[in-house]
């Protein structure tokens, strides 16, 4: 029979254990006294009151009777106030029970007290005010929806801006501090241009929706128009044109309801269709619209450029831009506490000595196909000028023999060729146009004492005078003949053959250039030109020739090379004498 249970608080369990130990000692003394003939139990033990200590849940154990002197308190043994003495037993749910008319108590080993958990310390940088800080919850993509605009007819959204009333705020974000456009992002470099795949199909649909009358040409006599006539010409056959498979009248009525919508400032009543604006039934003219004056108004302050006049020329505006840039550069240098340095070259700039022909020509050694062109140039000077001493022109065979003689003697023979489309010859090859030539020839035979002296011949096509062709020919020949000559260059020279690959095979010391002038003609211009190539006047023979009714004076100019000649040397070539 189970009764009310009694529990011992944790802070009194040690005292209960000490009382149990005292009962064990008292019991052992009582047993020893009983053995010696003394009374075994006290008055309370005779009444059947005692404390049983059970070591098993089913209540089996020995009974311990506390001594009379054991102090008890109401808080320690509250079960003494029970109405009927019963025995207290311990089971799995209760600590003690009353049974057998007396109180019995049982104790087990006290349970360990739980370890107190230290309170959590918050982050010192985030003080806990009113509890733990609230966790930030980021919205999901499905929750991030655009708010409809107040004028939601176009389905747009409202965008907040930090412009603070600045109308150029969005544009300024695309500019740097200097007002220049920022470069595009690097990710855009891989983007491809947009190409409409249906562009051609759209053009075909548009063409098919219109009639063939739209493609007809409008042909009217020029006398139909005059300076004071400002009207629009619309053919009558346009009235039968179909637009989008509809007549013009029906298309005009449906057009305002189609997309894109018509402009709000266009009034259909003010601008009727063209077929209602003909002057009469037979005329093709309609009233033209008034064209506003599109010229720039200089009086409008918005049309004025802060850096210069709007109507100024391009040179003035470019000069103003350069002045602004120079001012920025000077201010930057002043901020760096560096005085602006004026650039002063350490030495004067070197003169550009290059010779650039004013015609589209190039230069190369002579070829067999150049005979006719050379003969034509030379015969022109023979027949019409005093610059050739002959009266009869030379044939192509004579010119060819002279060219072969110069080449066989190892001397240079150069020609100037004009670029461009040239006619083909009888055998299909392209005959190049000769516009000038120059060569060296022996002043005397190779076995004489003048074997190192040569005469120069130079002629330019009469249609290519004053084009720097003679200067280019002289410069190239002197570079071959004189190892100490500093060539100017600046022109194109080609050599696709073995001839003159390594220059002339003869030693050249003196070059003589004969110049023929009419008596009394100024020679200073010729002397200044030849002086650039180290030709100096060496002789003047007056009244040396007579041709075409003119008295001719002969001038001789000399150019000396840097070749060293041994005066004791003898010629290696000897001519046979009769």
Sole residue written with tokens 């009394």: 520
Least confident span in 61-70, 166-175, 369-378, 385-394: 61-70
Does a structural domain hold residue 209?
no
CB atoms within 10 A of CB 417: 21
Q: Within this chain, do residues 437 and 542 fall inside the same structural domain, yes or no?
A: yes
Which of these three, 74, 103, 132, is where a domain ends? 103
Binned at pLDDT 50, 70 and 90, residue 89 comes out as very low
| CATH number for the domain harbouring residue 537 | 3.40.630.30
Does a structural domain hold residue 18?
yes
Binned at pLDDT 50, 70 and 90, residue 356 comes out as very high
Q: What is the 3-state secondary structure (H, E, C) of 223-269?
A: HHCCCCCCCEECCHHHHHCCECCECHHHHHHHHHHCCCCCCCCCCCC
Residue 111 has pLDDT above 70, yes or no: no
Does a structural domain hold residue 314?
no
Share of the chain above pLDDT 70, in %: 60
Does a structural domain hold residue 63?
yes
Written as six digits, the tokens of 368 are 């067999």
Q: What is the mean pLDDT of residues 449-455?
A: 95
Binned at pLDDT 50, 70 and 90, residue 175 comes out as confident
R_g (Cα) of the chain, nearest Å = 63
Going by C-beta distance under 8 Å and a sequence separation of 6 or more, which residues neighbour residue 453?
442, 443, 444, 509, 510, 511, 512
Binned at pLDDT 50, 70 and 90, residue 85 comes out as very low
Q: Within this chain, do residues 509 and 409 fall inside the same structural domain, yes or no?
A: yes
Task: Report the candidate in 363, 357, 354 with the shortest Cα–Cα distance to residue 490.
Answer: 354
Q: Within this chain, do residues 381 and 253 fall inside the same structural domain, yes or no?
A: no
Q: What is the mean pLDDT of residues 139-154?
A: 59
| Element spanning 208, H or E | helix 199-208
In angstroms, rounded to a whole number, what is the distance separating the alpha carbons of residues 516 and 164?
88
Comparing 330 with 375, the larger pLDDT belongs to 375
Binned at pLDDT 50, 70 and 90, residue 180 comes out as confident
Which of these three, 68, 103, 138, is where a domain ends? 103
Q: For residue 361, what are the CA distances in angstroms to 403, 490, 524?
A: 22, 12, 28
Written as six digits, the tokens of 562 are 């840097």
Residue 574 has pLDDT above 60, yes or no: no
Q: Within this chain, do residues 549 and 420 fall inside the same structural domain, yes or no?
A: yes
Sole residue written with tokens 């030709």: 535
pLDDT in tens, 334-353: 777 766 677 777 777 788 88
Residue 73 has pLDDT above 50, yes or no: no
Q: Within this chain, do residues 373 and 258 fall inside the same structural domain, yes or no?
A: no
Q: Within this chain, do residues 370 and 280 fall inside the same structural domain, yes or no?
A: no
Residue 332 has pLDDT above 70, yes or no: yes
DSSP state string for 153-169: TS--B------TT-TTH
Does a structural domain hold residue 148?
no
Residue-level pLDDT at 451: 93
Q: What is the mean pLDDT of residues 272-280?
A: 78
Contact present, 311 and 297 (Cβ < 8 Å) = no
pLDDT in tens, 514-570: 999 999 999 999 999 999 999 999 999 999 999 999 999 999 999 999 999 999 988
Sole residue written with tokens 């002086």: 531
Comparing 42 with 450, the larger pLDDT belongs to 450
Does a structural domain hold residue 286?
yes
Going by C-beta distance under 8 Å and a sequence separation of 6 or more, which residues neighbour residue 485?
478, 479, 534, 561, 562
Contact present, 486 and 357 (Cβ < 8 Å) = no
Q: What is the mean pLDDT of residues 6-13?
A: 63
Does a structural domain hold residue 332?
no
Binned at pLDDT 50, 70 and 90, residue 495 comes out as very high
Q: Within this chain, do residues 427 and 537 fall inside the same structural domain, yes or no?
A: yes
- Our count of domains for the chain comes to 3
Q: Within this chain, do residues 246 and 389 fall inside the same structural domain, yes or no?
A: no
Residue 109 has pLDDT above 90, yes or no: no
Instruction: Please give the residue range of the domain that contains residue 522.
Output: 361-560
Residue-level pLDDT at 93: 42
Does a structural domain hold residue 506?
yes
Comparing 103 with 543, the larger pLDDT belongs to 543
Residue-level pLDDT at 294: 65
Residue-level pLDDT at 19: 74
Q: Within this chain, do residues 397 and 534 fall inside the same structural domain, yes or no?
A: yes
Q: Within this chain, do residues 553 and 443 fall inside the same structural domain, yes or no?
A: yes
Q: Within this chain, do residues 377 and 502 fall inside the same structural domain, yes or no?
A: yes
pLDDT in tens, 462-481: 999 999 999 999 999 999 99
Share of the chain above pLDDT 90, in %: 34
Binned at pLDDT 50, 70 and 90, residue 74 comes out as very low
Q: Within this chain, do residues 268 and 377 fall inside the same structural domain, yes or no?
A: no
Which of these three, 237, 266, 290, is where a domain ends? 290
In angstroms, rounded to a whole number, what is the distance separating the alpha carbons of residues 163 and 143?
27
Task: Report the candidate in 75, 111, 116, 100 with the shortest Cα–Cα distance to residue 2.
Answer: 100
């Amino acid at each position: 029979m189970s009764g009310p249970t009694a529990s011992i608080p944790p802070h009194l369990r040690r005292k209960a254990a000490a009382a149990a130990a005292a009962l064990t000692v008292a019991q052992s003394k009582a047993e020893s006294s009983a053995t010696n003939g003394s009374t075994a139990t006290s008055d309370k033990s005779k009444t059947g009151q005692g404390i049983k200590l059970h070591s098993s849940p089913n209540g089996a154990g020995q009974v311990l009777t506390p001594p009379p002197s054991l102090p008890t308190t109401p808080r320690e043994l509250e079960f003494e106030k029970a109405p009927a003495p019963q025995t207290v037993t311990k089971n799995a749910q209760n600590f003690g029970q009353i049974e057998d008319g007396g109180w019995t108590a049982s104790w087990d080993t006290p349970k360990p007290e739980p370890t107190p958990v230290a309170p959590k310390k918050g982050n010192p940088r985030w003080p806990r005010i009113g509890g733990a800080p609230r966790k930030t919850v980021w919205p999901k993509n499905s929750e991030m929806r655009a708010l409809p605009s107040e004028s939601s007819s176009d389905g747009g959204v409202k965008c907040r801006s930090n412009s603070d009333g600045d109308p150029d705020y969005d544009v300024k974000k695309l500019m740097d501090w200097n007002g220049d456009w920022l470069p595009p992002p690097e990710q855009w470099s891989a983007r491809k241009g947009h190409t409409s795949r249906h562009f051609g199909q759209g053009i075909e649909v548009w063409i098919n929706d219109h009639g063939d009358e739209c493609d007809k040409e409008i042909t009217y006599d020029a006398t139909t128009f005059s300076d004071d006539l400002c009207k629009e010409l619309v053919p009558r056959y346009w009235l039968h044109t179909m637009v989008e498979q509809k007549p013009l009248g029906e298309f005009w009525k449906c057009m305002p309801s189609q997309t894109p919508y018509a402009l709000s400032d266009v009034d259909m009543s003010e601008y009727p269709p063209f077929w209602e604006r003909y002057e009469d039934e037979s005329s093709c003219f309609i009233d033209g619209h008034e064209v506003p004056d599109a010229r720039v108004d200089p009086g409008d302050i918005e049309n004025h450029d802060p850096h210069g006049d709007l109507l100024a020329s391009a040179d003035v505006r470019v000069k103003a831009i350069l002045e602004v840039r120079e001012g920025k550069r000077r201010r930057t240098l002043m901020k760096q506490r560096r005085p602006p340095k004026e650039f002063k070259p350490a030495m004067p700039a070197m003169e550009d000595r290059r010779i650039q022909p004013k015609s589209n020509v190039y230069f190369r050694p002579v070829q067999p196909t150049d005979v006719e062109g050379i003969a034509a140039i030379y015969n022109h000077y023979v027949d019409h000028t005093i610059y050739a001493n002959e009266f009869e022109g030379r044939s192509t065979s004579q010119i060819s023999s002279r060219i072969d003689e110069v080449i066989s003697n190892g001397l240079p023979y150069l020609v100037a060729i004009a670029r461009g489309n040239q006619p083909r010859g009888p055998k299909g090859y392209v005959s190049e146009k000769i516009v000038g030539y120059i060569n060296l020839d022996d002043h005397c035979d190779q076995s004489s004492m003048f074997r190192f002296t040569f005469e120069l011949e130079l002629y330019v096509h009469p249609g290519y005078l004053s084009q720097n062709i003679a200067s280019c020919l002289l410069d190239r020949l002197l570079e071959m003949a004189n190892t100490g000559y500093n060539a100017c260059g600046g022109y194109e020279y080609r050599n696709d053959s073995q001839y003159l690959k390594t220059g002339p095979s003869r030693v050249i010391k003196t070059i003589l250039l004969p110049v023929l002038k009419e008596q009394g003609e100024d020679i200073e211009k010729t002397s200044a030109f030849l002086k650039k190539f180290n030709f100096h006047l060496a002789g003047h023979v007056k009244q040396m020739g007579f041709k075409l009714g003119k008295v001719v004076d002969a001038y001789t100019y000399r150019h000396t090379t840097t070749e060293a000649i041994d005066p004791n040397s003898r010629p290696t070539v000897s001519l046979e004498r009769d």
